A and B are shown apart, each in its own frame.
Chain A
Amino acid sequence: MAAAEHASSKDKAKDKSQDAATTWHGIVLQTLKRNEIKLVPYVPDRVLTTLIKDLHTDPYFTTFPTAREEEAVGIVSGAWMAGMRGAVLMQTSGFATLANVLASLAVPYQIPLIMFVSERGTLGEFNYGQALVCRTMRPVLDSLAMEHHTITRLDELEFIADRSIKQAVTTQAPVALILSPLLTGGKTFDK
């Protein structure tokens, strides 16, 4: 019995390390850690469920929900100015609430705001409202000349996320990393 327990915990540890290397959420978590991003406020999204759960489990992170996405942007902006790095998790419709705070806080104050946006509204969307709001996201980012990448492939995720975080910090400019359904599987009608 003890041996079986031992084997099972060993398997779990193996699963965890495999998770880190082979799942998108495992790679995001490890990339945050490697870049010393400890503070991760979020407004949840179904696709982000496992990532959020794992962030809560890992004592390295201070992670919590906020009532609105702009609140989370304010929190990580204040934390960065006081020496602690953060990133915000949200879904597409949440990003759509951010134009004012991007244009009046993150961009003009040159704050390296790091955003992970789970992309709804495309590649199998079932809610017309989500499909429409998704179309506002890239025009808003482009109108402010903000760096953004849409991540579609697991083998490119670590490179894009790691390099983008480093670029945001060194150039003091915000960045949006859009997690495509091609990467995450997205949310479909039957889920």
Chain B
Amino acid sequence: MTNTPARNTKVMNRFDLTQRLVAGLKDEAVIGGIGNTNFDLWAAGHRPQNFYMLGSMGLAFPIALGVALAQPKRRVFALEGDGSLLMQLGCLSTIATLAPKNLTMVVMDNGIYQITGSQPTPAAGHTDIVAVAIASGLANSSWAADEDDFERLIAQSEQAAGPTLIGVRIDDKPSTGTTRRDPVQIRERFMHGMGVRQLL
């Protein structure tokens, strides 16, 4: 590769960014995609408004879209890996059509399937996820240059007139913790966090 495009985006860390996001939250929903993305969400401190996926790779943004449509007054964050998003790029067009302004999507892009042995994704090195999002109709999409820029973009998304997508380049570190894999409890607590039902 002699023609690698210059990138001015800093390589950051998933757990650090997740902690920065969670630190500023009150009752916002957060949907964590499969694998390390939701493991680091769990490690950043469990909260009932978090939903952790244990499969269904690529569905973090669609699940978040459903939450955002059902509760338009609640801010919904979705954290997804680049490999996961590649499984479901079409959802970007659907989200651009529905255009919920209460949805903020974060793509954690390290160009690898970290959890399966760090194999490069087919997109690694040449596909620009943020450009794909913009071309899908999500005009309010951008790369975070560094941690401060990430926090600024998160804050800005809460005032946005449409959905926001934030791309972050991350390193190849594994997650800091592991989500307790109890799907019914995860779902029940999330519904409690969404104010839909009381815990038993």
- Whether the Cβ atoms of A79 and B55 lie closer than 8 Å is no
Cross-chain contact of A75 among B54, B57, B66 (Cβ < 8 A): B66
Q: Which single member of A39, A84, A104 contacts B55 (CB below 8 Å)?
A: A104
Kindly state the separation between the CA atoms of A73 and B65 in the bound complex, as whole angstroms. 11
Residues facing A in B45-99 (CB within 8 A) are 51, 53-59, 61-71, 74, 88-91, 93-94, 97-98
CB <8 Å contact, A81 and B54: no
Please indicate the chain B residues that have their CB under 8 angstroms from the CB of A77 in the complex. 59, 63, 66
Q: Which residue of A lies closest to B136 (CB)?
A: A67
B6 at the interface (CB under 8 A from A): no
**B interface, over-half SS:** helix
Is A78 engaged at the interface, CB distance under 8 Å to the other chain? yes
Beyond A104-B54, A111-B187, is A74–B194 a contact (Cβ under 8 Å)? no
Do B90 and A81 have beta carbons less than 8 Å apart?
no
Picked from A62, A65, A101, A111, the residue with its CB within 8 Å of the CB of B69 is A62
A68 in complex: contacting residue of B61, B71, B90, CB < 8 Å: B90
The answer, among A81, A100, A101, A109, for a CB contact under 8 Å with B194, is A81
Q: A-B pairs with CB below 8 Å: how many? A: 122
User: Hey, which chain A residues are within 8 Å of B69, CB to CB?
Assistant: 39, 62, 75, 79, 84
Q: B11: which A residues are within 8 A, CB to CB? A: none
Query: Contact partner of B66 among A67, A76, A101, A103, CB < 8 A?
Result: A76
A86 at the interface (CB under 8 A from B): yes
Q: How many residues of B contact A (CB 8 A)?
A: 39
Q: Is the CB of B90 within 8 A of A83?
A: no
Across the interface, do B97 and A74 meet the contact criterion of CB distance under 8 Å?
no
Q: List the interface of chain B (C-beta within 8 A of A).
A: 29, 31, 51, 53-59, 61-71, 74, 88-91, 93-94, 97-98, 183-184, 186-187, 190-191, 194-196
A interface vs B, CB < 8 Å? 39, 41, 62, 64-68, 70-84, 86, 100-101, 103-105, 108-111
Q: With A66-B91, A78-B51, A81-B66 given, name 19 new contacts (CB 8 A).
A: A39-B66, A66-B94, A67-B89, A67-B94, A71-B88, A73-B59, A74-B59, A75-B63, A78-B63, A78-B65, A81-B51, A81-B191, A81-B194, A82-B71, A82-B191, A104-B55, A108-B184, A109-B183, A111-B187
List 10 A-B pairs, Cβ < 8 Å: A41-B94, A66-B90, A67-B90, A67-B91, A74-B91, A77-B59, A100-B55, A105-B55, A105-B59, A109-B186
